[in-house]
Amino acid sequence: MRLDKFIADMQSETRSAVREYIKRGAVTVNGEVVKKPEYKVNELEDKICLMGKELCFQQFVYYMLHKPADVVTATKDARERTVMDLMREASGKNLFPVGRLDKDTEGLLLVTNDGALSHRLLSPKRHVEKTYYVECEGELSTDAVFRLEQGVDIGDDKLTLPAGVNEIKRLDGTYSLKLSITEGRFHQVKRMIQAVGGNVTYLKRISFGGLKLDETLSTGEWRLLRQEEIEQLMENK
């Protein structure tokens, strides 16, 4: 692989910016300064450093983003700020969000460049579980909980698949709960709550495919996944 391509891929930099680093002598290969962008490297065996920092080859990278409200889940948008705008400093080429969260929804969003994993996690046939913390207006009856757990009519051809309902807290005219679903229909959680007489006022995804939101991340912050978290996602086969 060309030296400039390797660094651009690992650092998520433009080729032109990387060439400037190389020409300034900021790049070494196996301890020797290399000033030719076209220099061929073995990405698996050579020790390549940029400004003294070793760059390790990673074909795929995996990030957890704590998505804030008021940003759209997209790689680019002509009018709106996107989740990828929050991750301009993230290393890795061709990053994209896995699935989508509504603009007003917060919480866990997986960002990667692993297309095969994304396909597995989003495939309707695999029924990957997603859990949300939901705050609602209205009253939540025992019958409403039963309907959510059995499958509810949200206006589609079929009822929703059975959902998990946990940690219900009822107040005067409002309630909160944790809702686990294994589908990804349009505005599904909001429509399910609406179907049982409620109205969602706050929605936050707290887990996806076994991956749990790191609550130490403030909204808008992100980090690389740990190896055990990646392995957890890979179990969704």
Name the residues annotated as catalytic: 102
What burial class does residue 235 get, using C-beta atoms within 10 Å of its C-beta: 0-12 exposed, 13-18 middle, 19+ buried?
exposed
DSSP per residue, 90-113: --SSS-EESS---TT-EEEEEEES
Q: Which residues of 131-161 are buried (b: 16+ CB within 10 A; e: fewer)?
A: bbbbbbebebeeebeebbeeebebeeeeebe
Positive or negative CA dihedral for 210, 213, 216, 220?
Answer: positive
Identify whether the C-beta of residue 181 lies closer than 8 Å to the C-beta of residue 129.
yes
Q: What is the 8-class DSSP label of residue 40?
A: B
